[in-house]
Copies of this chain bind each other. A is one copy, B any other.
Amino acid sequence: MRYNKVTPADIDRLKKICGAGRVYTGGKIHEDYSHDELHGLKQYPEVLVEALSTEEVAAVMKYAHEKNIPVTPRGQGTGLVGGAVCTRGGIMLSLAKMNRILELDEANMTLTVEPGVLLMEIIDYVTPRGLLYPPDPGEKSATIGGNISTNAGGMRAVKYGTTRDYVLALEVVLADGTVLEIGSKVVKTSSGYSLRDLIVGSEGTLCVVTKATVKLVPLPERVVSLLIPFPDLQKAIRTVPKLISAKQVPTAVEFLEREVILAAEDFLGKKFPDKSADAYLLISFDGHSKEYVDSMYRQVADLCLEEGADDVLISATPERHEAIWSARGAFLEGIKASTTELDECDVVVPRDRVADFLLFIQKLKEKYGIRMPCFGHAGDGNVHVYALRDDLSDGKWNSVLEAVFGEMYAESRRLGGEVSGEHGIGIAKRSYLLQDLCDGEKTLMRGIKEVFDPKHILNPGKVVP
């Protein structure tokens, strides 16, 4: 695709649409907008536009469509795959200031928001009202628009599913500026192709989300977490499918390694409740009945001890919860702070193949002599693996990274896995996705892209080429 460069006349037009105060060029564009949280990929937009309304988004898209200028939608830029980086230049369309909570409908248990509302703002809004928005990605400063675009998952996916399961209706702007209302507040529908489910997870390549209605559930009255030290990671991980086969329904099942806990302690300057063991499972339970939650956690505790756990530490108070989950929330930052540069992999494999996958990672570490800390969602098969650069030279780092990632994704494919559990494809994982998809799937995805965005101006080069 050939795109036009942004001209001074284009800038003038964008200023007419959005007001001069929300259109930035050159040195006025903050460095933050040249990258997301994936370092190593850096590109400034030609112009940054902050939209305040659907009408502005529609006018910007209509103009960009006429002029054949690429547009990259962006929330808070917390992504990890370069999805919100203007790799082809053009317009960065920030939705961050479209951040109003528009409606809470308690009779229908829905919340309607603009795309720039942060996940933490949703939590703060619904929790005191006795409600829960179940998706729970670690990054609470991400926008709901970004969560929808990547079908964000998070810890509670084991019990509650992912973002797609909670999106009821969307207002979107198509590449040519057309505004569409998709879906409604109804909780079940068989009324034509589900455009909504297609748009969720499409990473800003099909349209721009300008409003969303999401489903809420009652806030569980009882929440308990267990921190369970195991003598080694394999023992810990191999316990998880047994819990599931034993018909237990935990909310979250995370695995932690001592190395990662130590990095998080250093980063936070706070002590973790226990670091006696090499590996841990962190399992949480929630529900509306104390009896049920407590009987479930006791059964799981017994099962873990039978499977070789060293101990079971129960956390049913807010303080203890905070100590454990704040460390869990700082894992990525802790690992980042411990090295010079890193790249990450977000593969998801069937739940019963996680242990095999982690055994393979162990072999890779030894083969390539690099540190590769892991953590993630043992309960849903989604593993976050980090390759750390430490003191490797540019040339060595790039060659090791290519080899390690190539082997990792090939193994995940062999185990029946997929490229990304929750972070998305963006630009960083596209080559691995293309290796996973068969020709027929690629043809269908490219065809769908063409239907929504025939000029390929929306977030070009991401997800599907």
Residue ranges of A at the interface with B (Cβ–Cβ < 8 Å):
105-109, 130, 150-153, 157-158, 161-162, 164-165, 174, 178-182, 184-195, 197-198, 200-202, 206, 217-219, 241, 244-245, 247-249, 287-289, 291-292, 295-296, 346, 348-352, 377, 380-382, 416-425, 433, 436-438, 440-441, 444-445, 447-452, 463-464
Contact = CB atoms under 8 A, between A and B. Distances in A.
Nearest to A205: B193
Contacts of A180: 438, 440-441, 444
A338 B159 CA distance: 44
27 contacts: A106-B245, A107-B241, A107-B244, A107-B245, A108-B352, A152-B190, A153-B188, A153-B190, A162-B190, A174-B440, A181-B438, A185-B416, A186-B350, A186-B416, A186-B418, A187-B351, A188-B380, A189-B348, A190-B424, A191-B436, A195-B441, A197-B198, A218-B247, A218-B248, A444-B452, A448-B451, A450-B451
A445 B195 contact: yes
Contact of A350 (B184, B194, B350, B463): B184
- Tell me how many chains of this kind the complex includes: 2
A445 to B, nearest CB: 5
B157 A161 contact: no
A190 B421 contact: yes
Contact of A107 (B107, B202, B219, B352): B352
A28 to B, nearest CB: 33
Given A150-B190, A193-B198, A217-B249, 5 more contacts: A178-B440, A190-B425, A191-B420, A195-B445, A198-B198
A198 B187 contact: no
Overall SS of chain A's interface: loop
A288 B190 CA distance: 30
B107 A464 contact: no
Closest 6 CB pairs of A and B: A447-B451, A289-B292, A197-B197, A218-B247, A107-B352, A107-B241
B295 A190 contact: no
Contacts of A192: 201, 425, 433, 437, 441, 445, 463-464
Given A174-B440, A249-B218, A108 B351 contact: yes
A186 B348 contact: yes
A307 B178 CA distance: 46
A375 B217 CA distance: 26
Contacts of A178: 440
B244 A417 contact: no
A288 B159 CA distance: 14
Contacts of A198: 193-194, 197-198, 448
Contacts of A130: 247
Contacts of A179: 440
A437 to B, nearest CB: 7
Nearest to A248: B218
Contacts of A346: 190
A287 B241 CA distance: 21
Contacts of A425: 190-192
Given A348-B186, A451-B448, A291 B288 contact: no
A194 B191 contact: no
Which of A295, A351, A452 counts the most B-chain CB atoms under 10 A from its CB?
A351
A309 to B, nearest CB: 19
B421 A189 contact: yes
A180 B161 CA distance: 25
A174 B440 CA distance: 9
B421 A193 contact: no
A444 B292 CA distance: 47
A234 to B, nearest CB: 16
Given A174-B440, A292-B289, A292-B291, A162 B191 contact: no
Contact of A249 (B108, B153, B288, B463): B288
